[in-house]
Chain A
């Protein structure tokens, strides 16, 4: 039974993942409608003038993961207005005595700034920086047996550890603090297993693609993604906050760039109760592991 749909796929929500999903489907030959609840696309990439003439990012601001994204890197976003600016120092951690530890694009410059921890920093980061481009797509995805098994295991052995444990390899407060600041992006207590992973990935991306800010604010990433999506023939509808599944134009696939809570509120009638129970149990608070 082949139904005729106006769209092959509808994506609800225009955050980075909604836009990525819509683009990947549209460029694979499907017809896609992207629905956004607010009047501004981008989700966590929105920028706003809270005071006239002063543009501020509202959520995300600095973009090592966007610049290093295996998917976004495939897209011609510079043709659609995206320009990354990389400051000479990517990140710095200040100390009371007026010194600081800093992450620079160059692996060696960063290591050189860490005094007696130079060798340890290079030993830790060099293999990750070298292997990351071939690991990224596997690691930044659902669980599966990685294609690059040895390199993945090597990364995993460091990444699995707690940031606190891993930073014990360093002797200086500078190196420990720099790594702790990176790992804090996990939003977890730093003595918890796997918190090292976030720090390692952010630092490796810094050495590969920098920690850039988009010219014109994070919104510029969203705008470039949307322009590219529309150039492929994709359709977008803003200011439509979807409340029920029945509002969504029938399609072969409906993809929610929302939390499980909104998915259940909107499409709960179609989902088995065991799924709703499991998905709504996603923990919001750090637990002891």
Chain B
């Protein structure tokens, strides 16, 4: 998957230049270098792309976990979000944000509704806190 944000937000780059942002899925924890595969796929639909590259910055799953310790094995979703785990992360509960310890809560992407920039895990966790302490 690719995005070329600087095409629509020119202040992100020097005049006449672009940043191309992209990723591909790999098995959890894989550190296989996917650069060539990704660039070949782009070339398939945009021949000549490779000749335009000034420089690359590549992040593999291990580096991603070092950058953000929540990304175990590079997983930005905080654990597989399949049918079995949709509502059961980190544990199966009507209030998954509460832990058994009084006053300790979890609100990350490892809680419903899961990964993505929407803040809804945090919002629901906050409401659980408010119910408990008000």
- The distance in angstroms between the C-alpha atoms of A44 and B69, with both chains bound, is 11
Inter-chain contacts of A217 with B (CB < 8 A) = 5, 9, 12
Best-buried of A70, A71, A137 by chain B (most CB within 10 Å): A71
* B38 at the binding interface (Cβ < 8 Å): no
* A18 at the binding interface (Cβ < 8 Å): yes
Q: In the complex, which residue of chain A has the Cβ closest to the Cβ of B74?
A: A284
Inter-chain contacts of A45 with B (CB < 8 A) = 117
Count of residues in B whose CB is under 8 Å from the partner chain: 81
Count of residues in A whose CB is under 8 Å from the partner chain: 95
Inter-chain contacts of B86 with A (CB < 8 A) = 194
The answer to whether B12 and A54 have CB atoms under 8 Å apart is yes
The answer to whether A15 and B109 have CB atoms under 8 Å apart is yes
Inter-chain contacts of A256 with B (CB < 8 A) = 104-108
Inter-chain contacts of B69 with A (CB < 8 A) = 37, 258-259, 261-262
The answer to whether B104 and A17 have CB atoms under 8 Å apart is no
Using a CB-CB cutoff of 8 Å, which residues 26-51 of chain A contact chain B? Answer: 28, 30, 37, 43-45, 50-51
* A208 at the binding interface (Cβ < 8 Å): no
* B60 at the binding interface (Cβ < 8 Å): no
Q: Which of B28, B107, B108, B126 contacts A284 (CB 8 A)?
A: B28
- The distance in angstroms between the C-alpha atoms of A4 and B54, with both chains bound, is 57
Q: Hey, what's the 0/1 contact readout for A257-284 against B, CB within 8 Å counting as 1? A: 1111111000100111001001100111
- The distance in angstroms between the C-alpha atoms of A43 and B118, with both chains bound, is 13
Inter-chain contacts of B25 with A (CB < 8 A) = 184, 187
The answer to whether B119 and A17 have CB atoms under 8 Å apart is yes
Given contacts A262-B69, A284-B80, contact A142 B100 (CB under 8 A): no
- The distance in angstroms between the C-alpha atoms of A139 and B112, with both chains bound, is 9
Using a CB-CB cutoff of 8 Å, which residues 50-108 of chain B contact chain A? Answer: 54-55, 57, 59, 64, 67-70, 72-73, 75-87, 89-92, 94-97, 99-101, 103-108
The answer to whether B101 and A54 have CB atoms under 8 Å apart is no
Best-buried of B64, B108, B110, B127 by chain A (most CB within 10 Å): B108
Q: In the complex, which residue of chain A has the Cβ closest to the Cβ of B11?
A: A216
Q: Which of A20, A85, A87, A143 contacts B126 (CB 8 A)?
A: A20
